[in-house]
Amino acid sequence: MASSSHHEGFGGRPLWAEIDLDALAYNVQALKGQASGAALAAVVKANAYGHGAIAIARAVLEAGAERLAVICVDEGEQLRRAGLGAPILVMGHSPISDARRIVQLRLTPTVNSQEMAVALAAAASEEGVNQPIHLKLDSGLSRYGLLPQELISLAESIQHLSPLVVEGLFTHFASADEEDKSFVLQQFKLFLEVAERLPWISIRHVSNTASLLDMPEISLDLVRPGIGIYGCYPSRWVNKGLKLRPVFTLKSRIARLTRLLPGQCVSYGRTWTAPRLSLIALVMCGYGDGLPRSLSNRGSVLVRGQRAPIVGRVCMDMCMADVTDIPNVAVDDEVVLIGRQEEGNIPVEEIAELCDTINYEILCGIAARVPRVYMREGRVVGSETLVQGLSAVGVGAS
């Protein structure tokens, strides 16, 4: 195992993401403290928002999460194959053809139809197990889920469909991360009206990170924070009184330094021309790794704690930075593309704003080929690369 300062041993090029498991555990516990005694389902869909689903799932359970939440059966299967035994809620649509697999993997699906309920019940009967399911109310997001009357009808028709257990009822807010909470309250009111009609469903849940931060009083039985676990806030409007700690840092090293004469150009399309004698650093990170191409001639990286502008077009596999003004810069110097270095900081929110998107998209876009290096107390405790599965050295128990 390489030391925390040199990760080239994790792959053929100097690029890696450092995932701070201490910060992750802190965030889980802080959010749990907000939840008015409700259980916590950690949302680890989309490869745990780019952080690495298996290592993150282990670490959040160790930190006190009771459940995991994913979007599809494949994500649930990935966690089960890794030996994780906690309840896993599949929040998205699952086709009827997946019913048997869901039962065999002991996943908790979100059921949207009588046909799916019947298929799950049949598969569970054959396997000789009880099968928990959740129902989702479309309370105004107009995306997935059933309208109030449809949901009540489905719930009542499958209430006694053994061995199915209608364990949970949930909805998802459309605008919980906005300043105006009136639509959230409207959705919540509708949800409670439906829940009152189905008092036999034991687990009710509505809260995402935004509502957990701003409206902890609506935590009900279970909360499902996603972005907050990773130390990010859902928007600039949510209450930041709970100090979350960023978990993700994206690092590389200077692979080459090139001196350019005034008038020489950099990268595809020759969009940047040296205005003076310039020193250009080659950094092995591009849009194929998840560094947005729209940072071309706009973004920055950190070298020796100082900002260096990204110059020329970001390529698929690399980008260039102007390090002319950084004293003593050298090949192999560490480069931070997202996160802190000494006094410098490039938060993921800054990158999202430059790219006219949200922090979620930037994190989820970090490609699988970027090695994930898991840290505790500043030391490497595990890593995962394209060619080497998770080495779970102290990354938490299953």
Q: Residues 26, 32, 45, 240: which is the catalytic one?
A: 45
Q: Per-residue pLDDT tens for 244-267? A: 999 999 999 999 999 999 999 999
Q: Residues 49, 240, 268, 360: which is the catalytic one?
A: 268
9 has a pLDDT exceeding 60: no
Range 248-346 classified under CATH 2.40.37.10 = yes
What's the mean pLDDT when you consider all of the chain?
Answer: 95
pLDDT band at 391 (very low <50, low <70, confident <90, very high): confident
26 is catalytic: no
DSSP letters spanning 179-197: S--HHHHHHHHHHHHHHHH
Which letter, b or e, does each residue of 141-178 get, where b requires 16 or more Cβ atoms within 10 Å of its Cβ? beeebbeeeebbebbeebeebebbbbbbbbbbbbbbbb
Residues 6+ apart with CB under 8 A from 125: 162, 163
Distance, in Å, from the CA atom of 350 to the CA atom of 246, rounded to the nearest integer, reads 13
Question: 21-230, superfamily in CATH?
Answer: Alanine racemase (3.20.20.10)
Domain with CATH 2.40.37.10 in the chain: 248-346
Domain with CATH 3.20.20.10 in the chain: 21-230
Q: Per-residue pLDDT tens for 305-362? A: 999 999 999 999 999 999 999 999 999 999 999 999 999 999 999 999 999 999 999 9
What is the pTM (predicted TM-score) of this model? 0.94
230 is catalytic: no
